[in-house]
Amino acid sequence: MESQEFDYLVIGSGIAGLLSALHLSRLGRVAILTKREAFESNTNYAQGGIACVMTDEDSIERHVADTLDAGAGLCDERIVRQILTEGPASIEELIQTGIRFSVRSEGDGGGYDLGREGGHTKRRVLHAGDLTGREIQVSLLRAVSANPHITLIEHCMVIDLITTSWLGLDDENRCVGAYVLMRATGKIATMRAPVIVLATGGGGKTYLYTSNPDVATADGVALAWRAGCPIRNMEFIQFHPTCLFHPKAKSFLISEAIRGEGALLVNAAGEPFMHRYDERGALAPRDITARAIDNEMKSTGQACVYLDIRHKTSAFVHTRFPNISRTCKRFGIDIAHDLIPVVPAAHYFCGGVMAGVDGQTVIPGFYVVGEAACTGLHGANRLASNSLLEGAVCARLMARTVAQKTASLFSGKRISLPPWQFHGAVPSDEEIVVEHNWNEVRQCMWDYVGIVRTDRRLDRAARRIRNIRQEIREYYHDYLVTGDVLELRNIAAVAELIIRSAQARKESRGLHYTLDYPGSGAVAKDTVLDDGAGEKI
Ligand code: SIN
């Protein structure tokens, strides 16, 4: 099958991938690989916005303090300060690419219309109505398509990274390329590049209910783990407190910004309940809010709770939240006059591939930026709207490091890359195995590795996922790979990493809450798993 060569391979087409590609295009030829259409990314669905200090009434130190507070003792303070300090420069860069954030009218004082979300003590969330991610995605894709140094390859999926140790060579381990499934033809390309940037986003699809789009299958964490990278803090899965509760809504997100504008969380009796859990009420950080909702639902036997913004004018809510308003209307809910039924759903991975603020991993030439990375910014619970900022800042810092290291990154001896080996695999006549295991992984994670955990639930999940992974290995060995099998293999591998990390943490902290150890230990420690190298299946 074909082989292709670039200077830089960027895997993923959200904010971190597109900005990485734009920066690297100043240094050489870049290919962006993306699983489906390029606009299908978590970024595209981000509603709330991008948190950054934008006024003199706010300060970097305040933003740092809010981030550390949400992170429950596990953020790396040096990294937090660096990313948040670099924030304004990245916002300026986004504006230069044509992104238009919402502004206030002159009558309201002018300037950017800054929103507020849970855990923020100040209004500092830049947004474009409630379609911030869409605005970012469209503008960056426009810049990418106009760039002659970038080749955008859609509908292709990386099977595995090719490293020198994967090839069994004695050299110092480094990344040299990737095997890539071209989904339309089923052919497998060998792509060579001395620098690979992984920006594949998160993996909400590991859980049955998620705010994430279908592409969010934790591919990056699984790829990096198999390539030998340490994976950090995977137990910290952020559940967004408020996704629309409706059988046909696919956990559509109701942005936290709606609570920033005064919406209350109420139970079926119409009573606000958040003050019973935290003095910040509906604007408490997400770990506390999601747990409170879970508790309300379980203790009252109700299937959901409600958001109530009926005290605001119709004109205000429909103008400030046009997309939420339109979507809810499709399901028969007028957000200005009705209660909005909501439930928590898996939303964001705070852990990921251990990486520096510039994306550097333990493998020379291999960088990870955005949600797939764990830089130390989010600790045990991400502060809302810090993630788009992290993606933008880290992509820029990654390109700066790569530019400084170009000579060494491009000096490795040229290795011949063997084509993909099919080992007698045949087309599958048992697709049902994939469908069945896909559902079972997600149901198991939802039931046993969710908002409230116990040792027994985790052990049960570990046993089930171990069996499923064994079946997947056999299937993967016997049949030709497809996109569906690759995604299943990745969600199952990452499910196991989440469970093992959760089992290792004998305390409750941030997003990891277990009835067996309800308190936090005196010292906050990372969970690191470092045994993926050699997992060829
Ligand atoms: C939201 O709009 O509530 C999501 C923002 C985020 O997850 O940072």
Q: Where are the domains of the chain?
A: 3-235+350-409, 243-344, 431-513
> What pLDDT does 250 receive?
85
Topology (CATH) of 243-344 = Flavocytochrome C3; Chain A, domain 1 (3.90.700)
Weakly modelled stretches of the chain, pLDDT under 70: 1, 536-537
Distance 434 CA to ligand 1 centre (A): 31
Catalytic position from the list 174, 192, 286, 500: 286
**Bridge-based pairing state of the strands 340-349 and 231-232:** unpaired
Q: Judge if the beta carbon of residue 384 lies within 6 A of ligand 1.
A: yes
> What pLDDT does 110 receive?
87
Q: Which helix (H) or strand (E) holds 152?
A: strand 150-153
Reduce the DSSP state of residue 30 to 3 states and report it.
strand
Pick from 255, 323, 342, 383 the residue to mutate for probing ligand 1's pocket: most ligand atoms within 8 Å of its CB.
255
Task: Report pTM.
Answer: 0.95
Pick from 42, 43, 47, 258 the residue to mutate for probing ligand 1's pocket: most ligand atoms within 8 Å of its CB.
47
Q: Judge if the beta carbon of residue 219 lies within 6 A of ligand 1.
A: no
Distance 317 CA to ligand 1 centre (A): 17
| Residue 116 designated active-site | no
> What pLDDT does 4 receive?
94
Pick from 239, 240, 327, 511 the residue to mutate for probing ligand 1's pocket: most ligand atoms within 8 Å of its CB.
240
**Bridge-based pairing state of the strands 237-244 and 366-368:** unpaired
Into which CATH architecture does domain 3-235+350-409 fall?
A: 3-Layer(bba) Sandwich (3.50)
From CA 451, how far away is CA 21, in angstroms rounded? 36
Residues in CB range of 11: below 8 A, 6 or more apart: 17, 32, 33, 34, 158, 178, 196, 197, 198, 199, 200, 220, 223
Q: Judge if the beta carbon of residue 20 lies within 6 A of ligand 1.
A: no
> What pLDDT does 515 receive?
97
> What pLDDT does 365 receive?
95
Distance of CA 453 to the CA centre of its chain: 22
Residues in CB range of 150: below 8 A, 6 or more apart: 21, 22, 25, 30, 31, 32, 144
Q: Judge if the beta carbon of residue 257 lies within 6 A of ligand 1.
A: yes
Into which CATH architecture does domain 431-513 fall?
A: Up-down Bundle (1.20)
- Tokens 């303070």, located at residue: 77
> What pLDDT does 124 receive?
97
Which atom of ligand 1 lies nearest, measured to the CA of 386? 8
Backbone phi and psi for residue 327, each to the nearest 5 degrees, phi listed first: -65, -45
Q: Judge if the beta carbon of residue 385 lies within 6 A of ligand 1.
A: yes
Residues in the chain: 537
> What pLDDT does 378 receive?
98
Which atom of ligand 1 lies nearest, measured to the CA of 347? 7
Residue nearest (by alpha carbon) to ligand 1 atom 4: 48
Q: Judge if the beta carbon of residue 387 lies within 6 A of ligand 1.
A: yes
Nearest by Cα to 136 from 48, 250, 251, 238:
48
> What pLDDT does 1 receive?
54
Q: Judge if the beta carbon of residue 256 lies within 6 A of ligand 1.
A: yes
